């Protein structure tokens, strides 16, 4: 999809207009944290644990301290007064003992855990000195299986940090009355977002204002600001987070890690700016991992394949500590697993287990990629057991449009799960029609008849967006007619600036290119939600819409007085207030530009009257419930009989977003998500050896898709079920590409190799596929 270069005058909402973010990015003038430097800055380099699990005896830094260019070397003893990293949202007391210290104290719990920090005048010298630090430790056996028996995390603490339970309905009765019961043991491999820009942080202390400024923030700048201030015992106003360009987030960047706190502390204590840029090896063993879950799930069905009950017990491999998300990922898994199906009875138990691996947290569609794999594998197994068509079984279980809003007796993220709107069967029909499902089946049969290992898979899912409770923005128009929109949002590459500018422009009546969007500067606005959980377009978009309506109303009221017309007779077109029935021109109606109105609203304007000065307003948007976009995805794969290699020949991603602000941006998000999903399904995995040594530590080992690994991806965006929860009907699109990909590819591989239910784990590397083929041949 390409840019709509000449949108009709004044109306850009829903159009694929060019991105405002692009011009600096294509000319190399982005401002990523690595691009920013201050005079006299120090470079921080972390010394990390080489052991997966050990009692830490001593960290010898004497030689390192004396090395050239070294200003300081810290161990836990140097920051003994600082607590471990807290959770972003209030989490149960039970999890608090599992929080990560800034630097390891008595125990090393994963390879890559920060043990010491070196501060040097140059990054190369910092690495040289880090080499000179020695770590003395006594190795302990590593815990690497989250589904095994729990063991000891510390005195009196189990590696099973928490057991979560949720459910509703009469599960036992349903299983007793079932026509058939199918049980599956499924595994999703450990993988994560791995953005192309590694993490980074640059802290600068301004003594004149007593303010610590931190660059490199992303995702949730205000929350992070609050957490940093709390950690250091400072007021929130004395910590300012500043976001520039961000090289991808996917949920990984923007949580607070030890390094973020350390650079701030060092900037304070060493009285120099401190810069830290993570390298790729570090990233792969220190930035949040995700996804690794083992599910033992079973489903009870009647003779028609209608699900009577679904029961699941799963084990989430959290890694060495519980980080800022607390138990968010297992919560999301549990709440969203039922997906688009009725599932009248449901019981799920989540074991939140600590192991000696890199800590895990949220990665795009957290809990939903995993849950979709489980749910759709179960549905496929039902179809196979009962000899029914996979699509038919799904149809029989889908929640109907007439049942909306549909309440699941579940909650997550502090809100009840209530599907706001959706016509799942309609989207299914559209997706099947778009790919030509019947014709495709015939074609695949024909090719299989000739000996090709080829098959198709389908998955249906519900995602979530628009997490509240509240967001606010401020819009002001200056004397030149230029519009500033101040948000507390975050731009991680998704086109946040453009989308917000479009909403503002459409509502206010200006050219979107004249809207300057401020994001990620915590000193420009009191409160912000950042951008995560696919919430920005709904929440910040809603607040922008609200603020723009107020500014519009203020402008029209003033213009009405100046033009001697009723406000209802006026409109704003391309930044100029005009008479609806008397367009401007030599013999036409009166008009007045917004800039001029702003001048007349200045504090010293003789025309101000009793009004509040300034053509500006704040707007707020509230949401008690999330929105629920939904999708259908279909893949066709071919398997190489000799090598087990899987080639995806075709991919269809159909998604209902309620209302799309910019279809080109939505498509970009969906395609990007699908490709990440393919990586998780086929090749990406964080592997460990039996000593807990990570094996996927370079981009050669952690294999992400390249341009030649991707199929043609068709995108079908629909707006059949706008959300009733916000005036624009937006549901959001950030995570919908990735969610069902694991499930869809698994189903397609099953069909291609002719072994229903064969795929039980991800990723399906060629070796694993070949093992399935070999087993089949041996029968």
Q: Which of residues 216-255 bind another protein (CB under 8 A)?
A: 245-248, 250
734 part of the interface to another protein, by CB under 8 A: no
Distance CA 485, CA 494 (A): 18
For residue 554, CA distances in Å to 337, 508, 542, 590, 608 come to 47, 11, 19, 18, 12
- Extract the tokens encoding 642: 């000799």
587 exposure class (CB count in 10 Å sphere: 0-12, 13-18, 19+) = exposed
Query: At closest approach, how far in Å is the CB of 491 from another protein?
Result: 9
774 part of the interface to another protein, by CB under 8 A: yes
627 part of the interface to another protein, by CB under 8 A: no
642 part of the interface to another protein, by CB under 8 A: yes
Q: Are 735 and 673 in contact (CB under 8 A)?
A: yes
Rank residues 3 and 482 by Cβ distance to another protein and give the closer one.
3
672 part of the interface to another protein, by CB under 8 A: yes
Question: Residues 433 to 492: which contact another protein by CB under 8 A?
Answer: 492
Query: At closest approach, how far in Å is the CB of 98 from another protein?
Result: 25
Question: For another protein, which residue of 7, 114, 195, 251 counts as binding (CB under 8 A)?
Answer: 195
Residue 138 β-bridge partners: 55
Q: Is 440 left (phi over 0), alpha (psi -120 to 50) or beta?
A: alpha
By CB under 8 A, the count of residues binding another protein is 95
196 part of the interface to another protein, by CB under 8 A: yes
676 part of the interface to another protein, by CB under 8 A: yes
Question: Residues 706 to 725: which contact another protein by CB under 8 A?
Answer: 706-710, 713
Query: At closest approach, how far in Å is the CB of 321 from another protein?
Result: 20
Task: Indicate the length of the chain as a whole number.
Answer: 779
User: Residue ranges of the alpha helices (H) in 455-524?
Assistant: 496-508
Query: At closest approach, how far in Å is the CB of 686 from another protein?
Result: 12
17 part of the interface to another protein, by CB under 8 A: no
Query: At closest approach, how far in Å is the CB of 705 from another protein?
Result: 8
Query: At closest approach, how far in Å is the CB of 420 from another protein?
Result: 28
User: Is the bond into 478 cis (omega within 30 degrees of 0)?
Assistant: no
Question: Residues 118 to 157: which contact another protein by CB under 8 A?
Answer: 123-124, 127-128, 130-131, 133-139
Residue 82, Cα to own-chain centre: how many angstroms?
A: 29
32 part of the interface to another protein, by CB under 8 A: yes
Quick one: which segment of 309-317, 569-577, 608-616, 667-675 binds another protein (CB under 8 A)? Answer: 667-675
1 part of the interface to another protein, by CB under 8 A: yes
**Mask 250-289, x = binds another protein (CB under 8 A)?**
x--------------------------x-xxxx-------
Rank residues 474 and 770 by Cβ distance to another protein and give the closer one.
770
**For the CA atoms of 230, 232, 236, 237, what is the dihedral angle to 10 degrees?**
180
- Give the helix/strand (H/E) hosting 457: strand 453-462
364 part of the interface to another protein, by CB under 8 A: no
194 part of the interface to another protein, by CB under 8 A: yes
**Residue closest to 266 by CA, chosen among 79, 112, 450, 132:** 79
**Residue closest to 309 by CA, chosen among 461, 164, 173, 459:** 173
Quick one: which segment of 48-56, 92-100, 379-387, 390-398 binds another protein (CB under 8 A)? Answer: 48-56
Distance CA 638, CA 453 (A): 6
Query: At closest approach, how far in Å is the CB of 646 from another protein?
Result: 11
Residue the block writes with tokens 């030890």: 258
CB environment 422-431: b (16+ within 10 A), e (fewer): bbbbebbebb
What's phi and psi for 240, nearest 5 deg?
Answer: -125, 125
Question: For another protein, which residue of 159, 198, 358, 490 counts as binding (CB under 8 A)?
Answer: 198
Distance CA 562, CA 590 (A): 10
55 part of the interface to another protein, by CB under 8 A: no
106 part of the interface to another protein, by CB under 8 A: no
Query: At closest approach, how far in Å is the CB of 304 from another protein?
Result: 38
Query: At closest approach, how far in Å is the CB of 562 from another protein?
Result: 39
Query: At closest approach, how far in Å is the CB of 310 from another protein?
Result: 32
**Residue closest to 630 by CA, chosen among 379, 322, 365:** 365
What's phi and psi for 120, nearest 5 deg?
Answer: -135, 165
Distance CA 19, CA 225 (A): 29
Question: Residues 575 to 614: which contact another protein by CB under 8 A?
Answer: none
Q: Are 252 and 555 in contact (CB under 8 A)?
A: no
Rank residues 542 and 740 by Cβ distance to another protein and give the closer one.
740
Question: For another protein, which residue of 142, 472, 493, 692 counts as binding (CB under 8 A)?
Answer: 493
Rank residues 34 and 740 by Cβ distance to another protein and give the closer one.
34
Distance CA 741, CA 673 (A): 9
Quick one: which segment of 96-104, 188-196, 467-475, 611-619 binds another protein (CB under 8 A)? Answer: 188-196
Question: For another protein, which residue of 667, 735, 750, 751 counts as binding (CB under 8 A)?
Answer: 667
């Amino acid at each position: 999809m390409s840019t709509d270069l000449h949108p009709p005058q004044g109306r850009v909402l829903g159009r694929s207009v060019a991105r405002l973010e692009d011009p600096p990015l294509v000319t190399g003038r982005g401002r990523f944290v690595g691009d920013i430097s201050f005079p006299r800055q120090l470079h921080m380099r972390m010394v990390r644990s080489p052991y997966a699990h050990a009692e830490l005896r001593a960290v010898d830094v004497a030689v390192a301290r004396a090395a050239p260019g070294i200003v300081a070397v810290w161990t836990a003893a140097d920051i003994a007064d600082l607590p471990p990293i807290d959770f972003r949202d209030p989490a149960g007391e039970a999890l608090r003992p599992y929080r990560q210290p800034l630097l390891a104290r008595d125990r090393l719990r994963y390879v890559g855990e920060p043990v010491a920090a070196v501060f040097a005048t140059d990054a190369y010298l910092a690495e040289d000195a880090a080499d000179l630090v020695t770590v003395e430790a006594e190795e302990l056996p590593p815990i690497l299986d989250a589904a095994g028996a729990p063991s000891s995390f510390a005195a009196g603490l189990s590696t099973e940090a928490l057991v979560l339970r949720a459910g509703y309905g009469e599960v036992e009765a349903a299983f007793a009355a079932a026509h058939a019961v199918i049980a599956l043991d499924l595994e999703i491999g450990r993988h994560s977002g791995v953005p192309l820009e590694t993490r980074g942080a640059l802290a600068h202390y301004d003594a004149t204002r007593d303010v610590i400024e931190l660059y490199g923030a992303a995702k949730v700048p205000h929350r992070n600001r609050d957490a940093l201030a709390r950690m250091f015992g400072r007021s929130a106003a004395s910590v300012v987070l500043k976001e520039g360009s961000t090289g991808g987030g996917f949920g990984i960047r923007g949580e607070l890690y030890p390094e973020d706190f350390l650079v701030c502390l060092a900037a304070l204590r060493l009285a120099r700016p401190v810069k830290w840029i993570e390298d790729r090896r570090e990233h792969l063993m220190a930035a949040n991992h995700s996804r690794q879950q083992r599910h033992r799930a079973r489903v009870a069905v009647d003779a028609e394949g209608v699900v009577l009950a679904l029961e699941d017990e799963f084990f989430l491999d959290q890694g060495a500590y519980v980080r800022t998300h607390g138990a968010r990922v297992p919560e999301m898994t549990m709440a969203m697993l039922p997906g688009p199906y009725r599932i009248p009875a449901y019981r799920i138990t989540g074991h939140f287990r600590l192991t000696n691996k890199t800590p895990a947290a949220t990665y795009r569609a957290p809990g939903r990629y995993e849950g979709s794999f489980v749910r759709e594998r179960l549905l496929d197994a039902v179809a196979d057991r009962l000899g029914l068509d996979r699509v038919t079984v799904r149809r029989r279980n889908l929640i109907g449009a007439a049942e909306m809003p549909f309440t699941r007796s579940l909650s997550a993220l502090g809100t009840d799960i209530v599907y706001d709107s959706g016509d799942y069967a309609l989207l299914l029909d559209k997706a099947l029609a778009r790919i030509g499902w019947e014709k495709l089946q015939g074609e695949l049969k024909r090719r299989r008849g000739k000996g090709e290992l080829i098959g198709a898979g389908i998955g249906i899912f519900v995602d979530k967006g628009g997490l509240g409770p509240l967001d606010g923005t401020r819009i002001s128009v200056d004397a030149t007619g230029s519009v500033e929109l101040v948000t507390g949002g975050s731009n991680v590459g998704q086109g946040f600036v453009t989308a917000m500018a479009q909403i503002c422009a459409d509502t206010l009546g200006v050219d979107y290119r004249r809207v300057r969007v401020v994001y990620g500067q915590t000193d420009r606005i009191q409160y912000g939600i950042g951008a995560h959980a696919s919430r920005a377009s709904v929440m910040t978009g809603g607040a922008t819409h609200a603020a723009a309506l107020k500014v519009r109303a203020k402008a029209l009221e003033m213009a009405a007085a100046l033009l001697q017309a009723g406000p209802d007779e006026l409109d704003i077109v391309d930044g100029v207030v005009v008479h609806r029935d008397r367009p401007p021109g030599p013999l036409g109606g009166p008009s007045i530009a917004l800039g001029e109105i702003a001048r007349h609203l200045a504090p010293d304007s003789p025309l101000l009257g009793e009004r509040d000065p300034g053509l500006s307003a704040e707007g707020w948007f509230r949401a008690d419930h999330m929105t629920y976009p939904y999708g259908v995805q279909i893949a066709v794969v071919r398997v190489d009989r000799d090598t087990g290699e899987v080639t995806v020949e075709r991919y269809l991603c159909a998604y209902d977003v309620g209302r799309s602000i910019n279809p080109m941006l939505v498509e970009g998000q969906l395609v990007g998500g699908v490709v990440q999903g393919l990586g998780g399904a086929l090749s990406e995995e964080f592997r460990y050896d039996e000593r807990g040594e990570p094996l996927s530590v370079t981009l050669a080992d952690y294999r992400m898709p390249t341009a030649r690994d991707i199929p043609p991806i068709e995108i079908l965006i629909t707006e059949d079920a706008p959300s009733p929860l916000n005036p624009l009907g937006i549901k959001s699109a950030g995570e919908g590409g990735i969610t069902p990909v694991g499930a869809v590819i698994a189903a397609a591989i099953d069909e291609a190799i002719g072994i229903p239910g064969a795929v039980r784990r991800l990723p399906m590397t060629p070796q694993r596929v070949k093992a399935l083929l070999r087993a089949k041949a041996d029968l």
